């Protein structure tokens, strides 16, 4: 069995009900945790009144990882639940994808985290498989006015030289859809709650690698993501993103990060063998 958590913050009714419709009838689904970081309980009023949906009002808006940790902790208490899906509310897909995802995870116990192919609504691919970031990747690119340099770096950092149609082991996957093995989280811990938003998935992916697990991109199934770069539009979110980056690099290393270089080098060498 598996559980799903969706963290909301003044999320629209249309968006939330759409993603719930995508997942409510999934085979093997135990519970959907709606963790509400909003300053009110308006979301609770329009949620379907069904046993599989559990609404939880967060004691504070502690961020994305903080909210999901509330649900993950509940999943960890249930010995019958093997996996936990961290899911953005702006997702849409057919619930039959879980059959293939669970089959792959069951057959590959070394996989701690899986992400399917993620598409924009027009069907184009979102490049969400990445190397472990350098300070330039997270901070420098944002302020670089030279488009050609950014595009050149993105081809490398976001692994755009791959066709995104093959299963890949990569060090850093998006937090919009993280199908996590609970036994791996028991070993490495949940999201780092010192990161409010932006980068909590990077930190978790890296700790999974340190724990001996793999982050797998699984394009055999696909999902749609109404991706919006909020941090590029809001000064407040830009500040949060920079603050998260500073914390992350203080934790793992700025320029001198031998393990990052080793992991990224291994990834590029490995990908050259599967192209």
The confidence score (pLDDT) of residue 141 equals: 62
What are the φ and ψ backbone dihedral angles of 114, each rounded to 5 degrees? Answer: -130, 135
pLDDT in tens, 116-153: 999 999 999 999 999 999 998 887 666 666 676 677 77
Q: Taking a C-beta distance cutoff of 8 angstroms, is the pair 242, 231 a contact?
A: no
Q: How do strand 91-92 and strand 177-181 relate by DSSP bridges?
A: unpaired
How far is Cα 129 from Cα 124, in angstroms, rounded to an integer? 15
Residues 6 or more apart whose Cβ sits within 8 Å of residue 162: 129, 168, 271, 275
| Predicted local confidence at residue 143, as pLDDT | 62
Q: How many structural domains is the chain composed of?
A: 1
Look at residue 139 in the predicted model and tell me its pLDDT.
76
Spatial contact of 37 and 55, defined as CB atoms under 8 Å apart: no
Pairing between strand 2-8 and 83-87?
parallel
Q: Where are the alpha helices (DSSP H) in 56-181?
A: 64-76, 97-107, 135, 147-157
Q: What is the pLDDT of residue 31?
A: 99
pLDDT at 153: 79
Give how far the C-alpha of residue 253 lies from the chain's centroid of Cα atoms, to the nearest Å.
22
pLDDT at 48: 93
Give me the pLDDT at residue 98, please: 98
Q: What is the pLDDT of residue 233?
A: 59
Q: What is the DSSP letter of 48?
A: -
Domain residues for the domain of 139 are: 2-274
> Mean pLDDT by 10-residue block, N- to C-terminus, for the chain (275 residues)?
98 96 97 96 93 96 98 98 98 97 99 98 97 88 65 88 96 98 99 97 99 99 83 77 95 96 97 85
pLDDT recorded at residue 235 = 84
What pLDDT is stored for residue 146 in this prediction? Answer: 64
The predicted pLDDT at position 175 comes to: 98
Domain containing residue 220: CATH number: 3.90.550.10
Q: What pLDDT, on the 0 to 100 scale, is given for residue 79? A: 96
Confidence (pLDDT) at 152 = 78
Percent helix, strand, coil in the chain, to 5, is 40, 20, 35
Tokens 């050259």 belong to 272
Residue 263: its H or E element: helix 258-274
């Amino acid at each position: 069995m598996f559980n799903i958590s969706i963290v909301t913050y003044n999320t629209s009714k249309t968006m939330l009900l759409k993603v719930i419709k995508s997942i409510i009838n999934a085979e093997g689904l135990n519970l959907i945790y709606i963790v509400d970081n909003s300053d009110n309980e308006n979301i609770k009023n329009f949620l379907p009144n069904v046993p599989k949906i559990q609404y939880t009002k967060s004691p504070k808006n502690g961020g994305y990882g903080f909210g999901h940790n509330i649900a993950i902790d509940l999943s960890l208490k249930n010995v019958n639940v093997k996996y936990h899906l961290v899911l953005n509310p702006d997702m849409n897909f057919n619930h039959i994808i879980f059959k293939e995802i669970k089959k792959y995870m069951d057959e590959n116990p070394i996989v701690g985290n899986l992400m399917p192919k993620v598409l924009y609504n027009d069907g184009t691919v979102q490049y969400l498989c990445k190397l472990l970031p350098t300070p330039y990747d997270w901070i420098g690119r944002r302020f670089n006015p030279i488009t050609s340099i950014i595009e050149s770096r993105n081809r490398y950092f976001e692994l755009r030289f791959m066709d995104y149609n093959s299963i890949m082991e990569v060090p850093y996957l998006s937090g919009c859809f993280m199908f996590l093995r609970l036994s791996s989280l028991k070993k490495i811990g949940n999201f780092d709650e010192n990161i409010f938003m932006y980068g909590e998935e990077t930190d978790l992916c890296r700790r999974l690698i340190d724990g001996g697990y793999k982050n797998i991109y699984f394009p055999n199934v696909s999902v749609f993501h109404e991706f919006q770069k909020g941090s590029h539009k809001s000064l407040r979110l830009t500040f949060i993103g920079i603050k998260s980056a500073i914390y992350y690099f203080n934790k793992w290393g700025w320029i001198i990060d031998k393990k990052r270089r080793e992991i990224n080098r291994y990834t590029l060498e490995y990908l050259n063998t599967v192209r």
